[in-house]
Structure 1
């Protein structure tokens, strides 16, 4: 669905160099701390910025050569996108209907009712969470094959985030050839939703893994300095010095659990994996 091949973009001291892929029929997550390059990747895919190198394909075509029909198959939710302050939801629905021939106004207004968004209130008066919902509802209502979602649940409480993820699961279940590329600083949202995850740090992909593999075989080992010196380092990815000794990230948690009963072995959450990949040092 999307192939990003060694794209480069320079902004002063920031340098993006990224390769990744979004397969057909899959949900792909892009995670990383603020400023890591997530939004830059999304804008590059949408051809909103010029690249300094590399290439991007969408639907098997160079992303700069997509025609109007191709673009109708893509729905974008960018974290910094805004609506005109003078519009109401009814105005937005009318405009979307004129831009996208397949825009499902009935479905859109049904979502507005379900999530209790005010139809006659101007968008400028909406909360951050309400604006995020509105952008997502628009993306879901013109029968796109590809969703590109940059922080779609930003500003929402835990209940609203769960409802939104349910909507996205329903979207994927409707057609096996649909795909989603999604980023979120709330890693728990991605753990139970994405098929695979890329981690970006300082403009570079530092980890790519199937989500089940990531959560099933990656983990955190906690040990004294003496245990660290004696342990097999071949499956250690990163380490961090602690008061008690070291915490280490591994992609073979079962190997250490079976062979080193004296150390503490914990299954790592995505947050813990991010922390050790970013803040830890090479072994």
Structure 2
């Protein structure tokens, strides 16, 4: 367990440096399309998912030689501790503390997963009597704002008392979420957060991921509906964002951004130029090369 915790710690530290680079790149490319920000968080997810990485002289990650040898040491430590115990000695205090921290980490991850399961079950119980409107769109009297629930067979849930003028734009927004796969990316992001819950940088990353997903979805809808419907879409945002946090019981509703920022983003939307998109793609490639690889380990004779 201690070796696993150290491995996760190493991955989390490396990903934290990548997050700092992502935050800087977001500031430099604020005119880039919003999907670019979501793509950046995808690169962070890759760094958090894969426990191995190739070495490259182009890597910008600092060396973490203090953690890597510790993983190897912990893997061989139990045998040494057993020998010491047999000889009447005692286990190393550092090893004992590391074992305690590992179990605390595991308990925290289990608590977050349990919270997710309970919240999702409670939300499903709330909408169990929802009435189908059409397709995968349902209406319920027990919710105050629309949302998407489910991963394999996702459903769109709408409040019964929704203005008919807002419904068109709300459905367009939620369907854009499904086409973009946001109902999969948000739970994946939350799952990674449960593994790296001890790292404050990962909490910040998840909140920003949720915000960027919503902004990118708004951008997609405006591009499809046309800029002439901006005012109606913004009105739908204002109407349906009231008391939205009251249903934030599952990861899909966690960390949603304020309506003011989304309205401002819709108002200022402009179709990105070819050169901005090209620059964003190049930036993603450079970021991946420099931060998805580890620095070349120093070899002493």
Larger Rg: 2
Structure 1 length-normalised TM: 0.29
Q: Which has the higher strand share?
A: 1
